[in-house]
Structure 1
Amino acid sequence: MFCYNLLLVFQVIWLNVSCLFLRHKSTLLWLRNSSSCNRMFKKVTKSIVNQMDPDGDLVPVRSMLDHEHFRPLCLVRRKRKAIFHPSPCYRQTWYRLDDVLLPGQDGKSSESLILNGGDQDSRQFLVKKSVSDRVDGSLRLSADPTRVELKGAASLAEEWSIKLQKNHIPPPKLEALKTERKINTNHSFIQQLQKTGQKLYVVHETIETLEEASFEETSGAEGNFMAQFYAEFCAKGARENKQSITIPKGCTLAFRAFQLAISDASWGLHYFPEKLTRKLASDGVLQGTLGALEAEVKRNCHILSKLSSQLSIIFLKAIKAVMRDRNLFQKLSQKMEAVLDEGDSGELKTESAALKDLLSHLQHSPAHVLHSMATAITYTLDALEELNEDQLLLLLESLENKIVAQQLKLVESILKQREHRKGSNTDPSLLSFSREREHQLTIAMMEMSGVKLHEDGSAACTEGAFSAIAALYVSLYVLNLLSNPC
C-alpha cells in the first residue's frame, strides 16, 4: 500500500508541474527540436517589425537561411492570399532585377544602386527587448495520517539588443533605371512568369543587422514536494534549458517591395497596388468571420474530402512527416508551388520515404486533379507554417490521442465568441477530456494562438489573434479530415 500511495504522489507531482509548464504559453521545454533556431529567428524578426512599423508594410523574413534572397533588388513573388495571412507574404525567386534586364548602353549593371553607390539612403537603429516571466503554484493535501505538499514554478527569460541599418533605394533611382534598361523577354524566368500570369515584386528597402547579434532564451522549471505517510519523504527537482542564436552581420531581417509592371520589354513600378485590398482584408466584417474562413477552407481543400481511406492515410503520413522535419516541409512546399506555377508533374520525385507515396500518386494524377491536390497541400502548408514548432508537436500528440475533432469544435466555438463579442461562451464539454494531459496540451495550444480560456467557458483573445486562430483552425480541419475519411 505504501508503494502504491507513493506512486500516486509522484503522479500528482508530475501532473501539477506539467500544468504549470503548459499554462505558461512560452515554456514547453521537452518539445524543442532542431527547428528552434528558425523559431527564434522568426520571433526576433516579427518583434522588430512590430516595434518599427506595426501598421505599415514592412515584412519580416521568416528564415535566416533565406535572408540573402530578400536584399535590395532581389525579385520576389507574393504567396497566395489567405485569411490567416492578413499581411503580405513573399517567397524568393533566386533572381535579382539585374538578372532579367538587358545591358544598358554604358554596359553598367544595376549594382551601382546597391550599398556602395554613394547616395543611397542608409540609416542606423538600435532595437532592444528584455522579457522575464515566472509562474508559481502550490498544492497542499492533508488527510490524517497523510500529508502532501507540492510546489512548482516555470520561468522564461529572453533578452537581446540588435544594431540595425535601413538600406533604401530611392524610387527616383529605380525610375531612372527603367528608362536605361529594358526587360530581357527571352529570359526563361520572364517567359514562365508571363505564361502563368504571376506578379513579380522587387525589394527596394531592407532592415539589416549592422553587426553580429546574439539572441538567448532561457526557460526552466522546478518542483519540490514533501509527503508524509508512516515516514516523511522529500524530493526536489529542477530543469533549465538555454537556447541561443547568432545572427550574422548584414543579415536581412525585414524588407519592403514594389510590384513590377512588365509590358513587353518595358517595366514600371506600382507603388500602391494593394492599398484597397489591404484595407478590406483587415476589416473584421469581411474577413474576421467564421463563415468566411469555413468557405475559404472548403474552397481550397474540397478535394481532400473525396479521398479514399487509403489515400487519406498516404496524405496524412506526408503531412505528419513535414510537421516534424523542416527540410521535408520546404521540399514539399517547393514542389507544390512548382506544380501550381508551371503545371508540371515531372519533378515530383524524392528520396524521402515519407513523401514518396504521396508524390508518386500525384505524378500519375490527371492535370486537373493534380492542380486541386497541389492547391490543398499548399494551403495546408501555409497554415501550418503560421504555427510554431511547439504547436506542431502538440498537434501531432493530439492526433495520436484522437482529440483533433474535439479541438476543432473548440476553435470553432472560440471564433464564434470572437464574432459575437458576447453571450456565446464555450461549451464546457469541449474542455472535458479523458486525461488531464489532453486538457492541458489543448489549453497550451490555444494560448500559443493568443487565446486564454477561462473556467466559465469564456475566451479572451489578444489583439490581432484572429490570424493565429484561423491558421490553427485550418490545420485542425485538414488533420481531422484526413484522420477521419468518409
Structure 2
Amino acid sequence: MSFPHQQRIWHKSTLLWIKNSSSCNRMFKKVTQSIVKQMDPDGDLVPVRSMLDHEHFRPLWLVRRKKQTIFQRSPRYKQTWYRLEDVLLPGQDGKSSESLIPNGGEQDSRQFLIKKSGTDRIDGSLIVPADPARAELKGAASLASEWSIKLQKKHIPPAKLEALKTERKINTNHTFLQQLQKTGQNLYVVHETIETLEEASYQEISEADGNFMAQFYVKFCAKGTRGNKQSITIPKGCTLAFRAFKLAISDATWDLCYMPRKQTLRLASDDVLEGILGALEAEVKRNCHILSMLSSQLSIILLKAIKAVMGDRNLFQELSHKMEAVLDEGDRGELKTESAALKDLLSRLHHSSADILLSMAAAITYTLDALEELSEDQHLLLLESLENKIVSQQLKLVESILKQREYRKGFSADPSLLSFSRERDRQVTIAMMEMSGVKLREDGSAACTEDASSATEALYVSLYILNLLSNPC
C-alpha cells in the first residue's frame, strides 16, 4: 500500500537530475537556515530544506513531522501532497477554505528585507605529509557569499481556523487519513509562511591561488589559480520557512494543538555518561539496537551501502527515500534498485520479516539523518578514516569533547587522543572536527563555535554507528 502520488521510481534520468540539483539544495538550505536564525532564533519557525519541495509548505497544506533527534535543533517535516481542503467535508455555504489565505495587500501579510554578505579568507602555508613524499603547500583561499531577499510573511489567524473547524468536518473516510491512522502518524497544518516577494539570487565564489590545497583533506592538489562559482535563483513566491499546528482528529471533528509538547532530553545520572553525552548514547542505542545484533556478514553489507551513499549524493537520496517509504507505508515494493552498491542490502531487507524490516529501516534512517547534518566534505573525511581504521579513536575524541563542552567554552583535548601513527590521520581528524565547529589548537587547547553543538552531536552519532558496523561482535 502506498500513499497516492508518492510512488518513487528511480530511473537513471531521475538520478542524474538529482545529482545536478544537490548543490542547489545545499545552497538553498544555507539561505533558509540563515533566515530562520535571523528572524526567529529561539522560536518555532522551521526552514524548508529543499527548493524542490517548497510548494508543499504553503498555508493550509498538510505536513507530517519526522521523529526528532537530539542532534536536530529544529523539527523536520515531510510533505503529504494534500491540503486541508482535500480532507474536509463540504460546508453548507459551499465556500472553500482557500479564502482564508491572505493576499499581498491584506493585513495578515507583512514584508521584510534581509541582506547578508560575508567573506572568509585563509592565508599562509601548510605542510601536509603525503605519500610517498612530503609536500609544502603555500597560497591563499577565500569563500565569499552575498544575497539580498525581499520576504513576505503570510499568516492565517487562529481565530479564522477556529471558525473553520466549526463549519467544516473531517472526512474520516478519506483514504489518506485512514492510512495515517493505521501507521499512527500525526498530521500538521501550515498556518504561517515566509515567502520570497520577488525573485532572488544566492551566489558563492571560492578561489585558491598559488600552489595551495584549498581543501587539504581531499586527495588532490590544485596548482595555479582555482576558482569555483555557484549560484541559485530562488523564484518569487518560494516558501523558505513555515510554522504549523498539530491537528487532533477525533471521529468527524478536528482541533488545533497550539502548544505542542516539546522534546526534552533524558539525562543519564551515571558518573561517566552525563548530560548530553549520556542522552546521545541512549538515543543511539534506542534507535540502532538492532545493528548490534547483526551478523558479521550483514554488518559488512550495511557498511558497504552506507559508505557508498556517503560518497554519492544520488545514492544517499535513494536509500533515504526507500527507508522512509518502508516506515511510512511498510511497502516492500520500494526495495528495488538499479544500483549495485545498494542491491545486496535491499535484497536482504526485502526477504526479512516485517519486524526486522521496520527496525532496520528505522536504524538506517536515523544513521542517514545524522550524516545529513554533516557536510559532504566531512563524508569524505569519514570515508578516509574508515579506510585508515581511526574511527574508534575519533569517537573517543568526540566523547571527551562532549563531556567538557557542557561546562565551559574553552577546554583542553586529551593529547593521547590526538596522537596518531600517521600525521595525515591527525590532520584529517582536526579538519573534520573544525567543520563541526570545534577548533583544536597545536598546544592541546580547544574551543567551540556558537553553532558547534548539533554538528558535534551528529558527528558523534555518525562515528558511533560507523565504529559499530566496522567492528561487529
Larger-Rg structure: 1
Q: How does 1:3-402 map to 2 (within 5 A)?
A: 35-116=22-103, 119=106, 121-138=108-125, 151-223=138-210, 237-274=224-261, 277-278=262-263, 280-281=264-265, 288-402=275-389
Partner SS state of residue 413, structure 2: coil
Which one has the bigger helix percentage?
Answer: 1
Q: 1:150 to 1:254 in 2, by over 3 A?
A: closer
Task: Give the match's secondary structure for 2:400.
Answer: helix
TM-score (norm 1): 0.83
Structure 1, residues 336-384: CA drift from partner, whole Å, max 9, x if none? Answer: 2233234443432223322222121112111221221111111111111
List alignment gaps of at least 5 residues for structure 1: 1-31, 141-147, 226-234
Distance in structure 2 (CA, Å) of the matches to 1:327 and 1:165: 33
Q: Post-superposition shift, 1:236?
A: 7.6
Give the distance between the partners of 1:284 and 1:362, measured in 2 at CA: 34
Cα distance in 1 for partners of 2:164, 2:191 equals 13
Distance in 2 (CA, whole Å) between partners of 1:150 and 1:75 is: 53
Say which of 406, 424, 428 aligns to 2:415.
428
**1:289 and 1:456 mapped to 2: Cα distance?**
26
Task: Kindly indicate whether residue 466 of structure 2 is the aligned counterpart of residue 479 of structure 1.
Answer: yes
Partner of 1:456: 443
Q: 1:367 to 1:91 in 2, by over 3 A?
A: same
DSSP 3-state at the match of 2:464: helix
Are the aligned partners of 1:70 and 1:255 in contact in 2 as well (CA < 8 Å)?
yes
Cα separation, 2, equivalents of 1:331 and 1:40: 20
Looking at structure 1, the residues matched to 307 and 126 of structure 2 have their Cα atoms a distance apart, in angstroms, of: 38
Residues 1:374 and 1:138: Cα distance change in structure 2 (over 3 Å): closer
Give the Cα separation in 2 of the matches to 1:118 and 1:100.
Answer: 29
Change (3 A) 1:133 1:346: closer
CA distance in 1: counterparts of 2:228 and 2:244, whole angstroms: 38
Q: Summarize the Cα distance change of 1:59–1:149 in structure 2 as closer, same or farther, 3 Å threshold.
A: closer
Aligned to 1:379, what secondary structure does the other structure show? helix
SS in 1 for 2:332: coil
Contact 1:287 1:293 in 2 (8 A): no
- Return the letter of the residue paired with 1:367: A
Q: TM-score, normalised by structure 2?
A: 0.85
1:213: how far off? Answer: 0.9
Percent identity of paired positions between Structure 1 and Structure 2? 82
Structure-2 change in CA distance of 1:180 and 1:325 (3 Å): farther
Q: What is the deviation of 1:46? A: 0.6
Secondary structure, counterpart of 1:241 in structure 2: strand
Matched letter for residue 297 of structure 1 = V
1:160 Cα deviation from its structure 2 partner:
0.7
Whole-angstrom CA distance in 1 between matches of 2:464 and 2:167: 51
Work out the number of aligned pairs and report it.
Answer: 436
Q: Give the aligned CA root-mean-square deviation in angstroms.
A: 2.8
Taking a change above 3 Å as real, the CA distance of residues 282 and 296 of structure 1, as seen in their structure-2 partners, is closer
- Could you give the per-residue CA deviations for residues 412-465 of structure 1, whole angstroms, max 9, x where no partner exists? 111122134389732223223344433223222211211111223232112242
Change (3 A) 1:116 1:422: closer
- The change in CA–CA distance for 1:34 and 1:188 in structure 2 (over 3 A counts) is closer
SS in 1 for 2:225: strand
SS in 1 for 2:244: strand
- Secondary structure at the aligned position of 2:237 is classed as coil
Q: Is the 8 A contact 2:266 2:279 kept in 1?
A: no
Contact 1:113 1:120 in 2 (8 A): no
What letter matches 2:60 in structure 1? L
